[in-house]
Structure 1
Amino acid sequence: MEEKPVTPSIWSESRRPRTHSAVADGVAKETTEQGLMGDSSSLSAVTHRSVFQQDYDRLLFSTPVRRLADKTQVWPMEENDGVRTRLTHSHEVSNLARSIGARAYKGARDAFRQNGCGDDSLAELINPLLLSIGLGHDLGNPPFGHQGEVAIGRWFEQRKDWIFTKLKKDEDLLEAPIPEEYWPEFVEFDGNPQSLRLLTRLQTHIDGLGLDLSAATLAAGLKYPVSYLNRDKDDPVRKKGGYFESEKDLVDWIRKQTGLEEGQRHPLTWIMEACDDIAYSVLDVDDVLKKGIMSPDDVLVILRQKFRIDGVIGKIQEKFRDIESRLFSPEIQRDIKIEYLRAYLIESLIGHASKTFVENVPAIFGFKSIKPLMDDSRLCDELKKIAQQNAFNHSSVLRMEALGSQAIDGLMTVLWEAISCRKNFDEIRSKRMGARAKYVFSLISPNYIEQADKCISSSTVASVLRYRELRLLTDMVSGMTDTFAMRLWKDIEVMPDVNCA
């Protein structure tokens, strides 16, 4: 089906063109919350939901979102079910984004109207779009969070003298090696571009469109709107690669629909980034309190040393005194203090983010690079320091991160054996050589193998067989949950290491 010409808009509702018409094939359009495969305009008429509300529903019911329940936020494989996982973190970022979005819209209504928003845009467009990108921003993160990213990158770094250019270690050069400028996609693996790949490539769809999200939702989800080739460490918008070469054709399509260019960030992405910062500051500290590592009074003492008490710190202090004057047990007092501490701090940081967004509206809608909205928040910085010292550097976290890194390294080694040790090098689905390789290859997701085998990207580099092999490897590892990775490694590490022929 040919794509109809469109006028570029940062709020583009366009979805990627299908390879064939579902109507012509006699496939019934689905209209339930979960079954969202049909034409979006017809679906909106039936369900009274905007395209962006549909996008949120597709994300909410998707498998990658559910997997976030067993991925690390701070505390890997935490037994205390009151402590956050990557799923609860993502829901909270989503909720915070909606709150800031409402304030930003009301504070800069004219700017939004001048850029294509109508009277109903807050409910129909801005809120659901922010909910979507908040919920989906961490989907590409591997098990064990940032340490998982480091472990994946280290595995490639240790093998970079041959993995990109040779058939095997100490063997002949590949006929089609991966050019060196693309090695950072693997050596500096990052979950952000993996999120785009997961949403657009790796979810099963009748026409291979992943979750089939709109152009605006995908554009707003690009935290770093540049390729690895165009990174700039001194620019906060360009400091990391936001998409892999394998998704370049998708990004080209997004830009055609939205009018955004390389390096231009969607206006709502600034809000999502700010909400992630708020969650990493306030809510990671909240988990430290829930685990009893610190008390809310400890946090107040630290903040009083850094800030005047005529603002939010004074309000918290006054509320703590009120709580202490009531006839509550110490345990109940502590829980109530935690709740108020969280609420006051979040309110203060939301106010800061909203105010900064409104103040920078000309630059944001002009697609200029500015500092992230929370960069000049001393309160946010101090809370991050508390979280870093008492959560990320806690011995239990460091121990599990070390175990997780070992598991990822071992899993990547046996997965690479399973991917590469095959009878016919030119065919990814060719018969595996060796018993362990056969077993491990059978565990790889069929839709991941389908992507590696079909190579539907128009990029020359992405069509290189070794590139597709390595993408398959990172797809499988990054898609694992913490528990699955640990259990699988315990299962595999006892198997004999028989070299494949």
Structure 2
Amino acid sequence: MMQWEQLLSLKRQGDINKRLRTEQDETRLGFEVDYDRVIFSSAFRSLQDKTQVIPLSKTSFVHTRLTHSLEVSVVGRSLGRTVGKAILEKHPQLQTVHGHHFNDFGAIVAAAALAHDIGNPPFGHSGEKAIGDYFQNGNGNRFKARLSDSEFQDLIDYEGNANGFKILTESKQGVEGGLRLSFATLGAFIKYPKESLPKKPTKHIADKKYGVFQSEIPFFTEVATELGLQPRAKGTSISYCRHPLAYLVEAADDICYTIIDFEDGINLGLIEEEVALEYLINLVKDTINREKYNSLKKASDRLAYLRSLAINTLITEASGIFLHHEEQIRSGDFSEALLDKSKFKAQIDDILKISIEKIYKSNEVIEKEIAGYTILSTLLDTYTTAFENHLNNRARHYDKLILKEFDGMLDNKASEYEYLMECCNYISRLTDGNALQIFQKIKGNL
């Protein structure tokens, strides 16, 4: 069974000496430093122009990945603190011997939640699919025979979670270890602690996707070992049990996109206001103050009240489920997302069903996703061809112009897999607007 003493490791990449909680500066706790480092990173700032629901939306009140991530971190902090308080009561040695406070749990979950979408490419999940489709069915398929099965799987199943781990931890020239976050925060960040193959070997929630590219496996294994994550894989494949706090990061994300994407749909006029309010009332009917609700004259105020109540209700629910199953979670035997165990699952599913029908499948979203496919496949074809020609000493002047952006990133000894991943990583860091701008330049539209 995984032990909290290890799971709360303050170690950072490159550390030689052990970091003790009892020696931490309470005014700038290591886990809080993690939060600060994510906030000030360029990868996080770029989320302000990345899709949450509506790609390339000009509507000011629609959430971006940045506002979504900030909200998820706030919910995650509340979940972590609630859980942390109960865990310290159950395992008092964590406080009396090791010096941990319940706020430590909140700080870890908040930092990991803040970073949870940092690896997402432009155009949301359709961006991931567009990258994968380019290598699976597009011109990128030409690389299949030159890569290992796992390397090729990284590309055809391109995963924002794995790319996020790469961004947070990858050493660049003059920047050793990326953001150098604590191992506890990195553990909480990794929702799917496995490599890309085998794909979905079980129905366990940790096998739903993957969370580490082939290029990051050595450091990923170091993090997992330091945290005491239990190996799950059979044979030679790399797979571990989730860090328990990853369940809270996932729950914070689930709570926010369930409730707040729904709210965006209402604000955009995609979901009828009265219908939406009824769905939210069904979720909070046990805790709603009818007198207060009926006193609110504006529909927007009623919506804000129900949203706040719904989030609070689900925070209480998710933390209760976590604590009830804490030992099962630490043993790696808890195989579902926390909210899948919720007594509100039917109400959550009803809200998600409406969101899928009215928002995610709306004409505006579909049209922008189609454009995203064209934009990203064009960028990938341009960059991968330029690299291919460069490494084969066939670079045209055009290729050299294209690769100006990559100066110093790769040398001539780079493997095919390395330069392909560099192309994908570069594109993943672009905002929706940046990607569109570069696409127009490539097409000759100045």
| Structure 1 length-normalised TM | 0.79
Matched AA of 1:10: L
Letter in structure 2 aligned against 1:410:
T
The one-letter code matched in structure 1 to 2:85 is: K
CA-to-aligned-CA distance 1:410-449 (integer Å, 9 cap, x gap): 1111111111112x53xxxxx76223212211123x46x2
Structure 2 partner of 1:168: none
- Given candidates 129, 132, 142, the residue that maps to 1:162 is 142
Report the Cα offset of residue 54 of structure 1.
1.2
Partner of 1:135: 114
Task: Quickly say closer, same or farther: Cα 1:100–1:309, change in 2 above 3 A.
Answer: closer
Work out the CA distance in 2 between the residues paired with 1:182 and 1:253.
20
Q: 1:220 matched to which residue of 2?
A: 188
- Write the distance in 2 (CA, Å) between the matches of 1:250 and 1:134: 21
Q: Once the 2 structures are TM-superposed, how far is the Cα of residue 99 of structure 1 from its aligned partner?
A: 0.9
Q: Which amino acid aligns with 1:157?
A: Q
Q: How many angstroms does 1:293 deviate by? A: 2.8
Q: Aligned partner of 1:398: which letter?
A: I
State the Cα deviation string for residues 252-275 of structure 1 (Å, max 9, x = none): 211232111332111111000011
What does residue 442 of structure 1 align with?
404
Are residues 1:412 and 2:380 paired?
yes
Q: Judge conservation of contact 1:223–1:265 (CA < 8 Å) in 2.
A: yes
Q: Who is 1:239 aligned against?
A: 208
Task: Choose which of 372, 387, 395 in structure 1 pairs with 2:363.
Answer: 395
Residue of structure 2 equivalent to 1:279? 256
Q: CA deviation at 1:109?
A: 3.4
Contact 1:101 1:127 in 2 (8 A): yes
What residue identity is the alignment partner of 2:9? S
Please state how far the C-alpha of 1:112 moved relative to its aligned partner.
Answer: 4.8
- Counterparts of 1:316 and 1:143, CA distance in 2: 41
Larger deviation: 365-374 or 212-221? 365-374
Q: Indicate which of 209, 225, 249 corresponds to 2:218.
A: 249
* Structure 2 counterpart of 1:478, one-letter code: S
The Cα shift of 1:221 comes to 0.9
Decide which of 307, 310, 324 is 1:342's aligned counterpart.
307
Q: How far has the Cα of 1:348 moved from its partner? A: 1.6
* Contact 1:224 1:237 survives alignment (8 Å): yes
Deviation per CA, 1:231-270: give whole Å up to 9, x if none. 4252211221110110011012112321113321111110
The aligned residue for residue 311 of structure 1 is 286
Measured after TM superposition, the shift of residue 371 of structure 1 is: 1.2
TM-score (norm 2): 0.88
Map 1:35-54 → 2, pairs under 5 A: 48-54=27-33
Describe the SS at the equivalent of 2:106: helix
Letter in 1 for 2:434: F
Contact 2:52–2:68 (CA under 8 A) maintained in structure 1: yes
SS in 1 for 2:368: helix
- Structure 1 unmatched ranges of 5 or more: 1-6, 22-38, 166-176, 325-332, 426-430, 456-464, 496-501
1:86 to 65, 72, 75: 65
Q: Which residue of 2 aligns with 1:289?
A: 266
Of the three residues 335, 339, 359, the one matched with 1:370 is: 335
Counterpart in the other structure of 2:153: 184
2:143 partner SS: coil
The SS at the match of 1:440 is helix
Q: Tell me what 2:168 maps to.
A: 199
Distance 1:396 1:156 in 2: 26
Letter in 2 for 1:473: C
Question: C-alpha distance in 2, partners of 1:139/1:303?
Answer: 29
The answer on whether the counterparts of 1:316 and 1:341 sit within 8 Å (CA) in structure 2 is no
CA contact (8 A) 2:30 2:182 kept: yes
Query: 5 Å matches for 1:261-272?
Result: 261-262=230-231, 263-272=240-249
Amino acid at match of 1:272: V
Corresponding letter in the other structure for 2:42: T
Structure 1 match to 2:89: 110
Match of 2:51 in 1: 72
> In the alignment, is residue 11 of structure 1 matched against residue 2 of structure 2?
no
User: Does the Cα contact within 8 Å between 1:204 and 1:210 map onto a contact in 2?
Assistant: no
Greater shift after overlay, 390-399 or 147-156?
390-399
Change (3 A) 1:79 1:202: farther
Question: What is the CA deviation profile of residues 328-368 of structure 1, one whole-angstrom value per residue up to 9, with x for unaligned ones?
Answer: xxxxx022112112112112211211111111111122232
Q: Deviations over 1:396-421 (max 9, x none)?
A: 11111111111001111111111111
Distance 1:156 1:317, change over 3 A: farther
Q: Deviations over 1:193-228 (max 9, x none)?
A: 00010111166544x211111211111111101111
The one-letter code matched in structure 2 to 1:322 is S
Q: Deviations over 1:373-392 (max 9, x none)?
A: 01132222222122212211
Instruction: Say if 2:80 and 2:107, in contact at 8 Å, map to a contact too.
Output: no
> Partners in 2 of 1:487 and 1:317 — Cα distance?
50
Aligned length: 427
Partner Cα distance (2:430, 2:286) in 1: 44
Unaligned residue ranges in structure 2 (runs of 5+): 232-239
